[in-house]
Amino acid sequence: MDRRILTLLAGLLASLVISAALWWYFETLAVFLFLPFVPFLFRRGDRAREPEGRTCPRCGFRTTDPGYEYCPRDGEPLE
Could you tell me if 60 and 79 are in contact, meaning their C-beta atoms sit under 8 angstroms apart? no
78: how many CB neighbours lie within 10 A of its CB?
Answer: 16
- H or E, element range at 62: strand 62-63
Listed in sequence order, the residues at least 6 apart from 58 whose beta carbon sits closer than 8 Å to its beta carbon are 71, 74, 76
Could you tell me if 77 and 70 are in contact, meaning their C-beta atoms sit under 8 angstroms apart? yes
Domain extents in the chain: 1-42, 52-79
Per-residue pLDDT tens for 25-56?
Answer: 887 766 566 556 566 555 665 555 556 789 99
Between 24 and 44, the more confident residue is 24
Between 20 and 54, the more confident residue is 54
Name which of 44, 22, 47, 24 is nearest 34 in CA terms.
Answer: 22
